[in-house]
Amino acid sequence: MPTAQPLRTGDPQRLGEYVLSGRLGEGGQGAVFLGSRGGETYAVKLLHGPVGDERAAFLREVELAKHVARFCTAQVIDAGFDEGRPYIVSEYVDGPSLAREVALTGPRQGGALERLAVSTATALAAIHRAGIVHRDFKPQNVLLGSDGPRVIDFGLAKALDAAATVSGRGVGTPAYMAPEQITASAVTGAADVFSWGATMCFAANATAPFGQDSVAPVLHRILTAPPELGRLDGRLRTLVAACLDKDARNRPGSRELLFELLGESTEGVPPEVLRSPPPHILRAPPPLIPEQRSPETHRSGDEPPGTWSPMAEPEATGAAGGAYRLPPAASVPRPAGDHLPAAPEPDGGTAPRLGTGPTVEEDLARGRGWPRAAIAVCAALLATAAVLLVVIIPTMAGNDADTPAPQAGGGPLTSQPPTSAPTTQPPATRNTGPGRRSRGPQASATDPPTVARPATVAIPSLIGMDKAAATKALKRAGLTTGAITERDAPQRIGQVLTARPAPGTVVNQGTKVSLQVSAGLPVPELTGMQRKAAQAALTGAGLSPGAVTRSCSEQPDGQVLATRPEAGSRVQGGAPVALTVARNGTRVPSVVGRAREDARAALVAAGLAVQVKEQMVEDESRAGTVLAQSLSPGTCAGAAAQITITAGVAPQPGPDPGESPPAQTPTGPIAGD
């Protein structure tokens, strides 16, 4: 809370057992005072109006409020009535409100914003758990204490309803009210969740999501327009958008909101996402070169089972040397026109076969020597190469790409098994032209050309930039600057407040991006107000009182004569505004050095009574001029005030030597001398 100000005329000196020593602030609900009891300091809020017949309900809600968890709220201590008006005593939190802190230091972002979101959502969940609906959750009711944010002014629902009816004030702040509060529908904790989302928008952007101008347009936008989320991004942006849903049934509860902020909710998340690697890794595009995996994991999910490519798999019999074989022809479909014969499987055989010739072991047993074995090995290698060309390389190349095939002498690649096995040539490896090969059916020459998609780009982060810098950033990104509107805001003049579409949105290049920039805050009209009232008006307008200069005037003492900058000028929030205030009276002119009669006339014209005092001077040039004045120049003299001026006179000639000096009279030499 801000430093307490002195009590005003009419403020109570005591409320119940609490002695009031200062005023902490005043809002639409009531005035807040700094109170003390038994050496402890408290915040005491006195509501503007009585609660009528709702005293019992008010006291019941106060009892409920006392049981709200106090780790992130200002604990309610006591309550009472003063001449029918209720007051509530709560824990004193020494810190500014979120509204004031953002106005002075700017929006929050990153970890600071997330900590604020979690702390306030925790407080809201605790308040709702106690059976209380806050009804007026807003930046002014979030205090930033030294130990973290605290939520205040909960437990006042019945009292505020009754007091608002008597005093003519409304419950809630328009910019942060839920639609059901505007339409007088049933108000539940969902209204507080809506206000929480609006408060997070303010913390991130220094403005409410539906604007903060006059009441009627704000309420209309709350009921009909989408919120401006501004700089909010990531998970928090998604949660705030859900909280600002216009249908209360679609908003998360405060407990659900807290769990979402903490990342505890797993509803609807696939199990594989909850395992390592994290989701942002799972969403990464696949590598250009697929890793070698087993047939089950290598098959693409978008290919029907009948078209899965055959893969080499380990021999099930455990052959020596870790031999590999192709799957049986009955279980693996082959491409159309593929004439590669299936290798028959002898009973209990452990070696791969190509065609119908004898196995390598049989050849060795017959003593045919190493030439046949070498030929068999070469045939196996060539068959493996064919499989690579038919299956793996096309998989790496993609569905549409044609890649050059390595060839010897430009002819088709064929495998050369032993003379007993026929030569095979899979159609997928045949040339379709010089230096090229084709896989599967060829596209017709009359197929329509592929339509190129327009280039897309993410809208850069523009919030907080100057208008000129934001325009350059949009141009660099290939985007176009759309309409630029201005809005009263405490940020420096020309600073970007919001962008539409919002930063981070992926759009086509050339898209127009509309900007909303700060127009600063207008200096209010203060002329004619008393000094203290004018300074309070400056603070309320988001500005700060500057130097005070006094000027003589016929106006009453302390009345504002002028401001600098002038009324209507636009300045940044918190800028000082100098005041010129009146000091009743006539400004005394400077007459020293002027001729005696001229000085006398000037003083009489200023409304002053003049008395002349003479003083002899040796310098005859100063005779007849004013040497001094009793009131300093610039002093404000009241009506008919008297001023004494001292005028110089030349010395009188002395008597001749030996003669006695003539007698003098008060008015000059004796006549006849």
Residue 118: which H helix or E strand, with range?
helix 110-129
Q: Is 544 exposed, middle or buried (0-12, 13-18, 19+ CB in 10 A)?
A: middle
For residue 514, list its beta bridge partners.
500
Give me the active site residues, please: 136
What whole-number distance in Å separates Cα of residue 334 and Cα of residue 310?
8
Q: Is 102 exposed, middle or buried (0-12, 13-18, 19+ CB in 10 A)?
A: buried
Question: By the 8 A CB rule, do 570 and 495 touch?
Answer: no
Q: For the sheet with 496-500, list strands across it.
A: 480-487, 512-518, 496-500
Q: In this structure, which amino acid lies at residue 516?
A: Q
Nearest to 189 by CA among 255, 98, 263: 255
What whole-number distance in Å separates Cα of residue 452 and Cα of residue 431?
29
Q: Half-sphere exposure (CA, 13 Å, Cβ side) for 595?
A: 3
142-147: list long-range contacts, CB under 8 Å, 24+ apart.
142/97, 142/98, 142/116, 142/199, 143/1, 143/74, 143/93, 143/95, 143/96, 143/97, 143/98, 144/95, 144/96, 144/97, 144/98, 144/101, 145/93, 145/94, 145/95, 146/94, 146/95
From its phi and psi, is residue 16 left (phi > 0), alpha (psi between -120 and 50) or beta? left
Q: In a 3-state reduction of DSSP, which class is residue 256?
A: helix
**Cis amide prior to 565 (ω within 30 degrees):** yes
Using the structure block, give the residue that is written with the tokens 């032993």: 418
Q: In a 3-state reduction of DSSP, which class is residue 342?
A: coil
Please enumerate in sequence order all residues whose Cβ is within 8 A of that of 238, keeping only pairs 6 or more positions apart, or say none: none
For residue 486, list its beta bridge partners.
517
What whole-number distance in Å separates Cα of residue 268 and Cα of residue 422?
57
Q: In a 3-state reduction of DSSP, which class is residue 573?
A: coil
List the alpha helices (DSSP H) in 350-476: 360-365, 370-387, 393-397, 467-476
Question: By the 8 A CB rule, do 197 and 230 touch?
Answer: no
Residues 202-237: b if buried by 16+ CB within 10 A, e if exposed: bbbbbbbbbbbeeeeebbebbeeeebbbbbbeeebb
